[in-house]
Amino acid sequence: MSARDSVLGKIRASMGSPASDANRRKAVMNRLEEAPRGIIPGRAQLPEAEQVELFCTMAEQFGATLARVSDYGDVAAEVSGYLRAHNLPAAIRMGADMRLQTAGWETEKNLEVRDGPSDGGDLAGVSHATAGIAETGTVAMMSGQDNPTTINFLPEHHIIVIKAADIKGDMESVWSMVREKQGKGEMPRALNLITGPSRSGDIEQTILLGAHGPRALHVIVVD
């Protein structure tokens, strides 16, 4: 036995760890499958319809603008309307998310849809959220080619589409949803939690929008 094995053996013995690798792996898997949940506040335990309303209220409270549409076919028209209202070019950057691909873009003849990650030259980007957190108005954005992370941070205007059914009361429920959706060993490289547009108050406690990301966040809830 090497000195390393001897030291590790003493550590395992003092901790009461199982000796075999198979037993240790089983212990780890049991711990992951039975992950404890924290205390969930009462405001996060509302009926589903009220969770959606709370999400909308909190998103606006933290500086986002918000629109609700009945189905995905109305998303393109809402995006075009947002661009016109803010005097922006009729162009967006978007990933490969299939829900966004079928969001009625063919009805907006003057809108240019650019595919793939942003290189920093886009004024507006559109992403689809994985989930929403009602108690804080936060959107959870899973990384990957469907919704490139660069679109979350580089365009000045970020438009996020979210399905009402994916809005959960609390962050713990969102993590459970991601684990169930992705499965063990298939978690995304990153999961960004975004609450309102980018802001900073580092200099003289004056709030500055767009310091580390988009200066405007527009959320479209698909009922």
Q: Is 76 in the same domain as 186?
A: yes
- Say how many domains are in the chain: 2
**Residue range 28-84, pLDDT digits in tens:** 778 777 767 777 888 788 898 999 999 999 999 999 999 999 999 999 999 999 999
Q: Is 53 in the same domain as 29?
A: no
Q: Is 104 in the same domain as 188?
A: yes
pLDDT of residue 23: 79
Q: Is 200 in the same domain as 128?
A: yes
On whether residue 200 sits in a domain, the answer given is: yes
**What is the C-alpha separation between 127 and 186, in angstroms, rounded?**
21
131-133 vs 157-163, strand pairing mode: unpaired
The number of beta carbons lying within 10 Å of the beta carbon of residue 211 is 14
On whether residue 182 sits in a domain, the answer given is: yes
pLDDT higher than 70, residue 202: no
Confidence (pTM): 0.81
**What is the C-alpha separation between 3 and 77, in angstroms, rounded?**
69
pLDDT higher than 70, residue 209: no
List the CATH number of the domain containing 125.
Answer: 3.40.50.10420
Q: Are 46 and 54 in contact (CB under 8 A)?
A: yes
On whether residue 40 sits in a domain, the answer given is: no
Nearest to 104 by CA among 78, 131, 141: 78
Q: Is 56 in the same domain as 153?
A: yes
On whether residue 39 sits in a domain, the answer given is: no
Q: Which domain holds residue 170?
A: 46-222
Q: Is 137 in the same domain as 66?
A: yes
Q: Is 18 in the same domain as 120?
A: no
The number of beta carbons lying within 10 Å of the beta carbon of residue 71 is 10
Q: Are 196 and 63 in contact (CB under 8 A)?
A: yes
pLDDT band at 204 (very low <50, low <70, confident <90, very high): low
138-142 vs 191-194, strand pairing mode: antiparallel
Distance of CA 72 to the CA centre of its chain: 18
Q: Is 30 in the same domain as 55?
A: no
Q: Is 102 in the same domain as 30?
A: no
Q: Is 101 in the same domain as 29?
A: no
Q: Is 18 in the same domain as 117?
A: no
Q: Are 122 and 114 in contact (CB under 8 A)?
A: yes
Q: Is 30 in the same domain as 50?
A: no
> Cα torsion at 103, 106, 110, 114 (round to 10°)?
60
**Residue range 74-121, pLDDT digits in tens:** 999 999 999 999 999 999 999 999 999 989 999 999 999 999 999 999
